[in-house]
A and B are shown apart, each in its own frame.
Chain A
Amino acid sequence: MKAALFCTSRYIGATPEGVWPLPAKYCEPETAARSMETTLEQFRLADQFGFDWVTVAEHHFSALSMTPNPMIFAGALSQVVKRAKIAVLGPTLPILNPVRVAEEFAMLDTMTGGRIVAGMMRGTPNEYVTYNFNPSESRARFAEALEIIRRAWTEPEPFGWQGRYYQYRSISIWPRPVQKPHPPIYMSGSSPEAGEFAARNRLGLGFAFTTIGEAAKAAAYFRAQAREAGWEPKPDDVIYRVGFHVAPSDDEAFADMSRTAPRVALTNSNAAISAAIVESSYYGRDAAQATRTATRTLQDRIEAGQILVGSPETIVRQIARIKSEIGAGILDCPLAAQLGERTLRSIELFGTEVLPRIREL
């Protein structure tokens, strides 16, 4: 198995929990800068200790994630992370200009000598408020935007686009991506629609904010759909996102985690938005998605496979379960806590004690 370190560049100062959008008045610029420097250091350590990928993602209006444009952060990472692949998982495609996304990915691929992994996301539902898009149109926008990006990466001549949601009269991006025909593409989603789309379009598929049981079902469905489409996904075509905190002992790891606040999903942090999203067709045939993001106790999250907590031995056992039930080849591991030196130690322990033992899983 491979592992990615995912840091959201969380604000390390005090802010109210469970509020979205979080009022900007709580943001102290010096603390924000320090938070970003801390994240860069965490990624540098991950590169040093053998993580295969480092991951950034797009979220808006929140102290949980200060990378509203993850491409900018990935640009900074290209100068810090020298070995690991840089996974942008990813831009929230339906609310962005797809030509711009294609250009930025191509820039990053050039700056990293072809180490970019291109996640194409629909994003968390609250993101649709950010730039004022209709979440009901998200799947159709996503499909069209992705096709534009693939064309932009591969067409050798200028071309225009007459779409349903996008219109361009001339596209010819510079630079072109280093990887041929283009960087590997992943999307995310546990819904049947996501599995079908990824299979049809030969994309990797990632699972986040779900449980091992649900992800196992969704991964099996994705593989079945892919076989129907004439291809067989490899383990690396499946990503499972799971938080982690490693300490020398289980007790120490749990004690560390008891000092952290429960994580509240961004959409669930605003009742009106949450209700409006349910009314829209955003969740498609996966209506249970709305409830899977409900706040759970730490123990519940461990049992559900949403977080890895414990000693290296315990963590390896938890990962083995993920591998055997889901078949994922890549673990995308968000830091479960921002605990200063203990978080840095967790990264080191994962890299030195866990990673070597999950390679052969």
Chain B
Amino acid sequence: MSTEPQMGATSTTDEAVLWLAAKDSAAALKRLVAAQYRVVECEAHETASLVRAMEEASARFGATPISLVAEGADAVPALLLALDEPQRVASIILLAPQIFDADGKALSAASETVAARLSAIETPVLALFGTKARAAPPEAARYYRARNPRCHLIFVYDAGEKMAEERPEAVAELVADFVQRRDRFLVRQHEDRLYR
């Protein structure tokens, strides 16, 4: 586990994002999100170490609750934390989560546990699926929403599981918007006017 803040220097808010992933993953995406938020990388893969990482991040930045970004199978500890200690979690963004397969079956015993409790999550959740992904196929997306109608699904076009590397700008926009606005991200606020 590493909670050393690598990317907080240029952030424009005090809000922190705890990123569950290997240190070397999603570098371009993390840099883009770090322009707006304090990004803390964390390699915790189970709830207890994740709690410690959040406490360290809160102590360092004074930010609590904290938003979580979880890649792949790290969706499991992120969602378990939202179930067990919801006060700690502001929002969760899942990148290519691996809890269900394309037929809605849980992928592991741990996934099964989360799947059974998914409907109880009240924390805002955004789940992103690459339209070309295989391990986290877009056909699986519906099962997250079916279990928890508060879970927002977004298909990231022309991307696989590695959407963070393949389309970092597209994913960063979603992450940043959801961290800031949670469920309200549904309503567009970009200005489309061409000329003043």
Using a CB–CB cutoff of 8 Å, the interface residues on chain A facing chain B are: 144, 147, 151, 155-164, 166, 169-170
Contact = CB atoms under 8 A, between A and B. Distances in A.
Contacts of A159: 141-142, 145, 153-155
Contacts of A163: 157-158, 170
A73 B153 CA distance: 35
Nearest to A163: B157
B85 to A, nearest CB: 27
A159 B188 CA distance: 15
30 contacts: A151-B138, A151-B155, A155-B141, A155-B142, A156-B146, A157-B141, A157-B142, A157-B145, A157-B146, A158-B153, A159-B155, A160-B152, A160-B153, A160-B155, A161-B154, A161-B155, A162-B128, A162-B155, A162-B167, A162-B170, A162-B171, A162-B173, A162-B174, A163-B157, A163-B158, A164-B157, A164-B158, A166-B157, A169-B186, A170-B186
Residue among A144, A159, A161 facing the most chain B CB atoms (10 A cut-off): A159
Contacts of A158: 145, 153
Contacts of B141: 155, 157, 159
B131 interface: yes
A157 B150 CA distance: 11
A147 B157 contact: yes
Nearest to A143: B158
Identify whether the interface residues of A are mostly helix, strand, loop, or mixed.
mixed
Contacts of A151: 138, 155
Given A159-B145, A162-B170, 18 more contacts: A147-B131, A155-B141, A156-B146, A157-B142, A157-B146, A157-B153, A159-B141, A159-B155, A160-B152, A160-B153, A161-B157, A162-B154, A162-B156, A162-B157, A162-B167, A164-B170, A169-B185, A169-B187
A166 B158 CA distance: 12
B126 to A, nearest CB: 9
Contacts of B170: 162-164
A145 to B, nearest CB: 10
Contacts, number: 55
A164 B167 CA distance: 9
A169 B154 contact: yes
Interface of B: 128, 131, 138, 141-142, 145-146, 152-158, 167, 170-171, 173-174, 185-188
A169 B157 contact: no
A169 B188 contact: yes
Contacts of B152: 160, 169-170
Contacts of A147: 131, 157
A144 B155 CA distance: 12
Contact of A156 (B142, B154, B156, B185): B142
Q: Which of B141, B145, B152, B154 has the most CB of A within 10 A?
A: B154
Contacts of A160: 152-155
Closest 8 CB pairs of A and B: A160-B154, A157-B145, A163-B157, A159-B153, A157-B142, A169-B186, A162-B156, A162-B170
A21 B166 CA distance: 42
A144 B173 CA distance: 19
Most buried by B among A144, A156, A158, A166: A158
Nearest to A157: B145
B157 to A, nearest CB: 4
B143 to A, nearest CB: 9
Scoring A144, A161, A162 by chain B CB atoms within 10 A of each residue's CB, the highest score goes to: A162
A160 B146 CA distance: 15
